[in-house]
Amino acid sequence: MNSYQVIYEVVRQIPRGQVATYGQVAGLAGLYGKARLVGYALYRVVDGDDVPWQRVVNAKGQVSESPFRNGSDDLQRSLLEAEGVVFSANGTIDLRRYRWQPDPTQFLPDIPVEG
């Protein structure tokens, strides 16, 4: 079980019409502070994979734009709007309203063991 698999498992839990941030997913996957790894994992998702990658946005509540995405950033916004997620005029999602709040009994924190 590599890191990507764990990341994909978490993303699969995000319900339709809700979003999570990269940092949030990292934390839930036991990868606190490694938000960038989540971005890289989602970059490698190809269509056909059963991963709702569009439901992950950055900490500002915006779709992360990049020329390397080759248009998938625009697609991401469209998919979210189709799920009922509303963007403000400046392209921001109100995280207070749409952020996913996972069942705490399903995501118990990893307790580091003293070496």
Partner DNA sequence: CCGTTGACGGCGA
Partner DNA sequence: ATCGCCGCCAACG
Nearer CB in complex with DNA: 7/15: 7
- Positions in 90-109 near DNA (CB under 7 A): none
Q: Which residue shows structure tokens 């900490």?
A: 59
- Say which residues have a Cβ less than 8 Å from residue 34's Cβ, sequence separation at least 6: 26
Helix, strand, coil abundance in the chain, percent, nearest 5:
40, 10, 50
Candidate list 40, 95, 99, 107; residue touching DNA; CB under 7 A: 40
Q: Is position 33 an interface residue for DNA (rule: CB under 7 A)?
A: yes
Q: What angle do CA 13, 73, 103 make, to 5 degrees?
A: 15
22 vs 98 by CB, closer to DNA: 22
Chain residues that interact with DNA, rule: CB under 7 A: 2-4, 21-24, 33-45, 53, 58-60, 64, 66, 68-69, 72-73, 76
